[in-house]
Amino acid sequence: MNGFTTADDIINGGTGMCRVSQKDIKRIVTMRSSGSTGPAKRLYFTEGDLESTADYFHRGMAHISPPGSSVAILLGSSSPDGLGALLAEGLSRLGARPFLHGAVNDHAEAAAFLAKLRPDVIVAAPVPLRRLALTLPSLRPAAVLLSSDYVADSLRQTVARVWDTAVYSHYGLTESGLGFAVQCSELEGHHIREDEFLTEIIDPDTCEPLPDGRWGEIVFTTLRREAMPLERYRTGDISRILPGRCACGRSEKRLDKILGRIDEIKKPVSIYTLDELLLGDDDILDYSASLHGAELRLEVVGNADKAADIISRALPRFAVSAAAVPDMKTQGKRRVILP
């Protein structure tokens, strides 16, 4: 689309999207869509770009993890300059004590890690974090930060109730250099990193800019990116800019709840709808979903019969079947699978 940058532009542009010499590239992130066999999307970062992200994590985590607090990071990996390492660096600058676990691939192992550490703060993807809260109800960290995927209201309420804790959320994507917007202690919208991004909301169909308060697609322009500056990049995510100033007194624009990705929202039933319905029930620890015409099939860690009943009552247009499974692994953002 003229006037915008898309994921296809990044894929097709390759190294031509870089604005610095290859010798100045510190990190390359290769991203491939689930099931894709075509060219990958590659994103490039200089030392300065990575430093900017670490500095943002330093500033953005200050109200969540005070000096001396122990912070379990259940995101990313231990690779140098990756998400986990940059977050750990930012926390260290605060005087907090980061403990990097990496993404939750083995629930039992992650639970053992937390049970031993008993951290003051936990940073994790939403669904694995909720399951850990239900598994370890006595852990009760002072705060948690949810990132990397859709945050259902039912999930947020469950974690807050089980652990009696403050639940914050963060929005960011690799194209934005990981950090983009985070909630303050008022929990009313996500403060945008305005020193790094010019943010717009557009109508995803007409591409016309929308005023504050209207829901649409998040578009951003990088302001200080060195390796790969992006102009009017279409994220494919839906939210809105909240009008007015936050009660905390800060003046940055704020994103409301992130409603999810456009391609997922357009499905006959989205993972976001299912999350809101299922993740408020403590007997359902995790699930996956696939849609076969009018038949919705669930695999459930926990009470499969209850999951089927909840969805059947809420979405009677689908024939719902649910099978109990002992465990499951999820890679990337969760979605309803369309075979």
Report pLDDT digits (tens) over 277-300.
999 999 999 999 999 999 999 999
Q: What is the pLDDT of residue 145?
A: 98
Kindly tell me if the per-residue pLDDT of 321 is higher than 90.
Answer: yes
pLDDT tens track for 96-122: 999 999 999 999 999 999 999 999 999
Burial 250-280 (b: 16+ CB within 10 A, else e): eebbbbbbbbbbbebbeeebbbbbbbbbbbb
Per-residue pLDDT band at 37 (split at 50, 70, 90): low
- Whether residue 124 contacts residue 104, with contact meaning beta carbons closer than 8 Å, is answered with yes
For the domain bounded by 7-261, which CATH number is listed? 3.40.50.12780
Residues 189 and 191: their CA atoms lie apart, in Å, by: 6
Kindly tell me if the per-residue pLDDT of 190 is higher than 80.
Answer: yes
Can you give the residue ranges of every domain in the chain? 7-261, 267-324
Residues 174 and 76: their CA atoms lie apart, in Å, by: 12
Torsion, Cα 275 295 289 6, to 10 degrees, reads -90
Q: What is the pLDDT of residue 48?
A: 96
Kindly give the residue spans of alpha helices, DSSP state H, lying in the chain: 7-13, 47-60, 83-94, 107-117, 126-135, 153-163, 262-265, 271-278, 304-314
pLDDT tens track for 50-62: 999 999 999 999 9
